[in-house]
Amino acid sequence: MKRCVIFGGAEMADDALIRRSLRPDDFILCCDSGLRHAERLGLQPSLVVGDFDSHAKPDSGDVIVLPREKDDTDTVFAAREAVRRGFDDFLLIGVTGRRFDHTFGNISLLLWLHQLGKRARILDDYSEMEIVSRDPVEIDGRYPYFSLLNISGTARGITIRGAKYPLENAEIRSDYQYGISNEVLPGQTATVSVREGSLLLVRVFAG
């Protein structure tokens, strides 16, 4: 399955991590100053979108120029355009950072893509994030910590196995986030599933 990698303009310093996460056939979609990441890594964007308030508009290639006053951010527009083009697998890089409002909006994109039946992850210098619901998701021992956060309503029937703090048929509400900083048991692979609703799974690279 060909994947769409969306580069946003937020800072990300770990170029080695980015390179390890990319595939040769990725469709590279840059949002405005997300072009900086592609330029630094020597990547040729497949598509560039943005209002170009933070980076010069490219002189060539596939470019969509957006108005500066709009409802969708450049990243949201990029995700919508990629869905329109038929992509089912997404990796978002450089979309979490100093602007909490943009960060939260981009994390919400994971929920939107999940509800469309798409696979999507966010990668930054410290963690990777995805939505977990009915289908069990694994967390292996490469990650010192993982957290489950509710960003939408109430999640019920939560099961965590193979972790320091297991759960069975539990509930996490968005007003009480007690699923932070769990740990995979030594030599095991943790699994997480949710019977009703969904949770944001954050795999943390370092403590």
Count of positions (residues) in the chain? 207
pLDDT at 60: 73
Distances in whole angstroms, Cα of residue 146 to Cα of each of 76, 110, 182, 192, 201: 26, 17, 5, 11, 7
pLDDT at 207: 56
Are 126 and 43 spatial neighbours (Cβ–Cβ below 8 Å)? no
pLDDT at 51: 82
pLDDT at 58: 79
pLDDT at 104: 94
- Tens digit of each residue's pLDDT, the chain (207 residues): 789 999 999 999 999 999 999 999 999 999 988 999 999 999 999 999 988 887 777 777 788 988 887 888 889 999 999 999 999 999 999 999 889 998 999 999 999 999 999 999 999 999 999 999 989 999 998 898 999 999 988 999 999 999 999 999 999 999 999 999 999 999 999 999 999 999 999 999 975
| Cross-strand pairs, 45 | none
pLDDT at 66: 83
Domains annotated on the chain, with CATH: 4-125 (3.40.50.10240), 132-204 (2.60.120.320)
pLDDT at 52: 82
